[in-house]
Amino acid sequence: MNNETLEFIQEQLEYEFDEPKLLRQAFTRKSYSEEHNGAYNNEVLEFYGDKALEFIVMKKLSEYFGETTQNGKYASQKTEGQLTEIKKKLVCKKMLAHRIDILDFADCLLMGKGDEAQNAQDQESVKEDLFEAIIGAVAIDCGWDAETLEEVVDRMIDIEYYLENGFQDDENYVDLIQTWCQKKYGYLPEYNIYELNDGYECIISFSNEFNGFSGQGYSKREARMNAAREAFDYLDEENEWILPIDEVGEPDIDRAINQLQELYQKGYIGEPWYDFAETYDDNGNPVWRCECHVSGSDTYWWGNYSSKKNGKKAVAYDMLRAVLGLEEDDEA
């Protein structure tokens, strides 16, 4: 691990080690130490970090959800069971691994050939161990100073954000925005990332309608996540998050008539209406010209069918796909 990597990690933590070798040790897997003459690894640091993390989380929970009353007693807004569940979510494997991803630390691990072959840096358990080892290294380096530990833990987890906003996975905001954009526009959002003096800024654009959601972070991943979170919050506040397809589901030819009607009742489209004309082919068989219209739009769908019932379903299905943006409109 070179000095540039050590400097990057300390900048992310906003903590400068008195003993940088402790930080290197926190990133050293046992597999690496076994291949390099028994170099010190992070297993014991992980043990201490687990305890230090638990202490800081408990301290934050006691301060956030309770206070000492005038008669000297502690009053809590949460029950023991509720606090236990919150604590579990804050220090669970998935959370710690996710925060390591945001900090861009996994690729800094020193691993043996076996770990490298298995891409161990991508495993949640390995990232969890790394998170705890870093806390352990900080604890020893700062002499277990509670204030310093709390600052580093806050930097690595941002505990108050989760206490205020819940535990929806931050990384999912990026996935949610991409899924929403794909459904609405048929393409993925555009991400532009710019380097700042103290980190990065990400700007997300979907279209002229939704443009310029920005977020900053110490890493590109964190900046992208924060921009996606801003976009999500805006869409949710403006009631844009739920798309028509979310209301009625994927087009189904047997349900298309009802699906169109549901979109009308919820205010997404004008009232659907149908027009029918019966003619006959050269053999005297009935042929139904069926049309589906939506009030307020000049576009309609039509076709010739042997059955009025099936024809109505078919044109309703075609109109539904057009309304949901799943097919190019063919204007009659």
132 is known as an active-site residue: yes
Q: Identify the band that residue 315 occupies on the pLDDT scale cut at 50, 70 and 90.
A: very high
pLDDT at 297 over 70: yes
pTM of the model: 0.55
DSSP assignment, residue 74?
A: E
Mean pLDDT of 13-34: 93
Dump the DSSP string for 29-62. -HHHHHHTTT---SHHHHHHHHHHHHHHHHHHHH
Domains of the chain: 3-165 (1.10.1520.10), 170-237 (3.30.160.20), 244-323 (3.30.160.20)
pLDDT in tens, 250-288: 889 999 999 999 888 888 889 999 999 999 999 999 999
pLDDT at 328 over 50: no
Spatial CB neighbours of 220, under 8 Å, sequence gap ≥ 6: 104, 193, 200, 202
- Position 50 scores a pLDDT of 95
330 is known as an active-site residue: no
Q: Identify the band that residue 37 occupies on the pLDDT scale cut at 50, 70 and 90.
A: confident
- Position 168 scores a pLDDT of 60
- Position 130 scores a pLDDT of 96
pLDDT at 323 over 90: no
pLDDT at 330 over 60: no
Active-site hit among 132, 141, 222, 318:
132
pLDDT in tens, 80-107: 888 998 899 899 998 899 888 878 898 8
Q: Identify the band that residue 331 occupies on the pLDDT scale cut at 50, 70 and 90.
A: very low
Active-site hit among 46, 50, 128, 141:
50
Average pLDDT of the chain to the nearest whole number: 87
Give the closest residue to 319 by CA, choosing from 296, 300, 303.
300
Dump the DSSP string for 286-308. EEEEEEEEETT-S-EEEEEES-H
Dump the DSSP string for 136-161. HHHHHHTTS-HHHHHHHHHHHH-HHH
Can you read off the two tokens belonging to residue 254? 């047997």
pLDDT at 199 over 80: yes
Ranges 1-10, 13-22, 206-215, most confident: 13-22
- Position 234 scores a pLDDT of 85
Ranges 140-149, 225-234, 262-271, most confident: 140-149
